[in-house]
């Protein structure tokens, strides 16, 4: 089966795109009734005779997604009904994410990282779990934990590689570029630190004002307290994931400048 992506609900821009497997079983009246009972069980503990297994939960999730985004030819679906099914979808999704948080913390123990990057690693893993919940196909015959672990591990591997780039670019203990070169025991690393400081001072990477501000707060020159992604996001009025993306873009630019620095090619 292939996932189908329909357009967001035209009635409500707050309703995000929802993915579902185009299986005929999610379109039946009984599937809709089961999804309603699943939501009732999540909220009140009632509505089902027994605790639903993951197959029931995920099929209900897909049913809600289809009901939210469907475009029938003959019968018009009201905006109110779409919003109701979208709300049910979010209820089931949130329940599934909470029920599987143990996977995130278990996998994080297998990817040790510097304390400064723990928040980033945890954030990436949690977002990966959310994507896994949204994209899991309950008809493929595999357990959700297997699928989710693969998704989370891929993201943690990418983050680990990114962390490695951070450490090569900002090698000092406090990840500061303001260390004096003569304080470093490694002359090559001292030279790299000095050239990095030069690139920042002269903006050789052509960072935007926003990129410069984020780098300055994430890697303070005066060994001051390093702001977290969430703190910066609150200050700048954006999500911490958006702050992380801007930070990584800026770091990539700085790394490119160092890679092309003729002094470091010797």
CB 97 within 8 A of CB 37: no
Give me the CATH topology for the region 170-265: Arc Repressor Mutant, subunit A (1.10.10)
Residue 23, burial from CB neighbour count under 10 angstroms (0-12, 13-18, 19+): middle
> What does pTM read for this prediction?
0.59
Instruction: Print pLDDT tens along the chain (266 aa).
Output: 444 444 444 565 344 568 899 889 999 999 999 999 999 999 998 888 899 999 999 999 999 999 998 877 777 888 888 889 999 999 999 999 999 989 888 888 877 666 556 777 888 888 899 999 999 999 998 999 999 998 998 888 877 676 655 555 555 444 444 444 434 445 566 667 777 888 888 888 888 888 888 888 887 766 667 788 888 888 888 888 888 888 888 888 888 888 787 766 54
Q: What are the structural domain ranges in the chain?
A: 4-99, 101-152, 170-265
């Amino acid at each position: 089966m292939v996932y189908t992506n329909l357009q967001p609900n035209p009635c409500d821009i707050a309703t995000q795109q929802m993915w579902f497997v185009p299986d005929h079983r999610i379109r039946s009246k009984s599937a809709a009734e089961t999804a309603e009972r699943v939501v009732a069980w999540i909220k009140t503990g009632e509505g089902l005779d027994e605790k639903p297994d993951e197959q029931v939960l995920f099929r209900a999730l897909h049913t809600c997604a289809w009901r939210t985004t469907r475009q029938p030819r003959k019968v018009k679906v009201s905006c109110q009904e779409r919003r109701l099914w979208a709300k049910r979808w979010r209820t089931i999704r949130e329940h599934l994410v909470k029920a599987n948080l143990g996977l995130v913390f278990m996998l994080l123990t297998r990817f040790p990282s510097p304390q400064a990057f723990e928040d980033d690693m945890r954030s990436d893993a949690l977002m990966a779990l959310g994507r896994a919940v949204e994209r899991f196909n309950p008809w493929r015959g595999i357990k959700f934990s297997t699928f989710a672990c693969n998704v989370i591990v891929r993201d943690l591997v990418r983050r680990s590689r990114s962390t490695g780039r951070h450490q090569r670019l900002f090698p000092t203990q406090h990840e500061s570029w303001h260390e004096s070169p003569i304080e470093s025991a490694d002359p090559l690393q001292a030279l790299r630190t000095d050239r990095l400081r030069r690139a920042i001072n002269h903006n050789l990477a052509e960072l935007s004002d926003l990129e410069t501000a984020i780098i300055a707060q994430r890697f303070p020159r005066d060994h001051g307290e390093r702001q977290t992604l969430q703190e910066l996001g609150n200050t700048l009025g954006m999500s911490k994931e958006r702050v992380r993306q801007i930070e990584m873009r800026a770091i990539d630019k700085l790394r490119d400048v160092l890679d092309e620095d003729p002094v470091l090619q010797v």
